[in-house]
Amino acid sequence: MTDNKPIAPLLQAVKDAAPIMMAYFPIAITFGVVAGSSGFSFGIAAFISIWVYAGAAQFMLVSLFAAGVSPFATAITVLLVNLRHFLYGATLGPAFSKWPEKLKWLSGFGLTDEVFAVASTRFLSQPPQPAYQLTFAAACYLSWVAGTLVGAGIGRVIPGSVSNLFTFALPALFLALLLSTQRSLAHLSAALAGGALAVTAQMLQLGNLGIVLGAVVGATLGMSLQSKLHLRKEPSLSGNG
């Protein structure tokens, strides 16, 4: 009989990636359409998704280009938008400490918001396996690239105003994945504090700095609260009898 153990992580990875793939595909089509209607060629639109692969940052890159912003300012802005991925990598880094260096780089490239949301939850119960994680990330990546190719092909036919109707799907997907994780006082406090700070920063026109500040402050608050709650549950070591 054939041993299915090596195949099991691959099948589980595709199963876990399926909801993200189904959401990525139409959003990537939207990006391809927006890129085409903004003057990008089919090849350039495809290259952006293949090389950048950054969701919201790609839409921003296209909009800044269409507005005539300098390449230097565009690059800095896109880097700031993606700065949150530094936090993602720092959070999951210890879980990948025993991986070969090349596999770490491959996994890091595929670490989108939604991949992080699923991976960070899954790694609470078991350590990451290269076969699972790389297959999971690759499936999401290929869905995004495929959607971009389709969108770039029809980008000069569909108006950008129509494609913009689908841009809500990316944040909606991330929120759905986030809400499906653990729900405790610490998690709720971290989410509310981080979200409130990010919104406040946006109202003060601080740009994408609010995303980073919200993530750092929210995570710090959540960890501190979780530690205090954990200490209260532990039996006192200085008992009276």
Residue 118 near residue 16 (C-beta atoms within 8 A): yes
Q: Environment class of residue 202 by beta-carbon count within 10 Å: exposed (0-12), middle (13-18) or buried (19+)?
A: middle
The amino acid occupying position 37 is S
Q: Cα separation of 223 and 130, whole Å?
A: 28
Q: Residue 170 above 60 pLDDT?
A: no
Q: What DSSP letter does each residue of 86-111 carry, written as one string? A: HHHHHHHGGGGTTS-HHHHHHHHHT-
The closest alpha carbon to 61, from 234, 49, 97, 89, belongs to: 49
Which residue has tokens 């990008």? 40
Give, in degrees to the nearest 5, the angle at Cα 20 between 14 and 22.
95
pLDDT in tens, 109-166: 998 888 888 888 887 677 788 889 999 999 999 999 999 999 888 866 666 566 566 5
Confidence of residue 211 (pLDDT cuts 50, 70, 90): low
Residue 74 near residue 65 (C-beta atoms within 8 A): yes
Residue 195 near residue 214 (C-beta atoms within 8 A): yes
DSSP state of 182: -
What pLDDT is recorded for position 208?
A: 58
pTM score, whole prediction: 0.68
Q: Cα separation of 9 and 181, whole Å?
A: 21
pLDDT in tens, 3-17: 556 678 889 899 999
